Amino acid sequence: MKEQKQYILSCIDGSKYSEAVCDYSSWIANKVDAPLTFLHTIEHTKVPAVADLTGAIGLGASEDLLNELTEVEQNRSRLLIEKGNIMLKAAKKKAVESGVSHVEIRQRHGALAESLVELEDEIRVLVVGIRGEQHEGDESGVGTQLETTIRSLHKPILVVNKSFSTPQKIMLAYNGSSASRKALSMVGTSPAFKDAICHLVYVGDADQSIDTLLDEAKKELENSDIEVTTVKLEGEIDEALAKYQLEQDIDLTVMGAFSHSRVRGFLLGSFTEKMLEKTKRPLLLLR
């Protein structure tokens, strides 16, 4: 039996980032020649059920009023489904127009993280906005669904926080850990980065061993025909990376799950949150 090809999964919810999420998803799908699936989830409502409202209305609530409340709830659910379908069809149309050859759409009920865990084996890369529709008015911070998703999923996650532009310069945060080496390997082997210039960045106290570490990593990328610039920075890691990203007009940052020194707990602790808050460009997180 032929093994099913993993797809790029793009999560859209009507937030201001949804169009960019669609564009970045299409870019990846085209680059790596993978199918693309758009997902829209409908969270279970936290509004009290009709039975719970009867007490607030009073004992004199008429049957007609209760029937009307039931109808309101049913209409709300129907409209959410219809809204999601409209967004999914628009996203599919946009992806097809951008050249993606295989596009599917899905709609599921329940929490986003739960749906993603169920689909995890099918996912190659997940693309999400930094904040969902409920928190899109916030100018900083990370959406609660994104935080839960990062903790739950063991797949590459591209977090989108700006309108789409083709990544021409990427930054790879590197310290020689197993997770950062995984990121190095991904950059070196993925068709998505073949035409990009890679800034290989180390933050921390540098010595001869760090020079050797960066030289070896640089040669590995150059063997994959990727143009590389190596950089050593000092200071707080999140601040140094975010500053360099802006100064060098980096289009996309790739980071692994660092597991020692000041960044222990990456993807599960404050460092990830700080990077997501401070970075102004998309961030590809690798577990």
What pLDDT sits at residue 199?
98
Q: Which of 121, 143, 160 is the last residue of a domain?
A: 160
Domain with 133, as residue range(s), is 7-44+80-160
Let me know whether 146 and 13 are in one domain. yes
In a domain, 106, yes or no: yes
What pLDDT sits at residue 276?
85
Let me know whether 243 and 197 are in one domain. yes
Q: Is the pTM of this model over 0.95?
A: no
Counting residues of the chain whose pLDDT is more than 90, the rounded percentage is 55
pLDDT digits (tens, 9 = 90+) for 183-227: 999 999 999 999 899 999 999 988 889 999 999 999 999 999 999
Helix (H, G, I), strand (E, B) or coil at 145: helix
What average pLDDT does the segment 51-76 reach? 60
In a domain, 250, yes or no: yes
In a domain, 110, yes or no: yes
- Write the DSSP string, 21-78: HHHHHHHHHHHHT--EEEEEEEPPP-SPPHHHHHHHH-TT--HHHHHHHHHHHHHHHH
Cβ neighbors of 69 (< 8 A, separation 6 or more) are 50, 53
DSSP 8-state secondary structure symbol assigned to residue 269: S
Let me know whether 19 and 142 are in one domain. yes
Counting residues of the chain whose pLDDT is more than 70, the rounded percentage is 80
- Average pLDDT of the chain is 84
What's the pLDDT band for 229 if we cut at 50, 70, 90? very high
Which CATH number belongs to the domain containing residue 204 in this structure? 3.40.50.620
In a domain, 60, yes or no: no
Could you give the CA distance from residue 9 to residue 35 in angstroms, rounded to a whole number?
9
Domain count, the chain: 2
What pLDDT sits at residue 218?
97
Let me know whether 13 and 97 are in one domain. yes
Let me know whether 180 and 123 are in one domain. no
In a domain, 71, yes or no: no
Residue with more model confidence, 98 or 268: 98
Q: Which of 141, 160, 179 is the last residue of a domain?
A: 160
Could you give the CA distance from residue 220 to residue 224 in angstroms, rounded to a whole number?
7
What pLDDT sits at residue 79?
85
Q: Which of 142, 160, 178 is the last residue of a domain?
A: 160
pLDDT digits (tens, 9 = 90+) for 9-50: 999 988 889 999 999 999 999 999 999 999 999 876 554 444
What average pLDDT does the segment 127-139 reach? 66
Residue among 158, 141, 219 at smallest CA distance from 29 = 158
Structure token digits, residue 232: 């050593």
What's the pLDDT band for 69 if we cut at 50, 70, 90? low
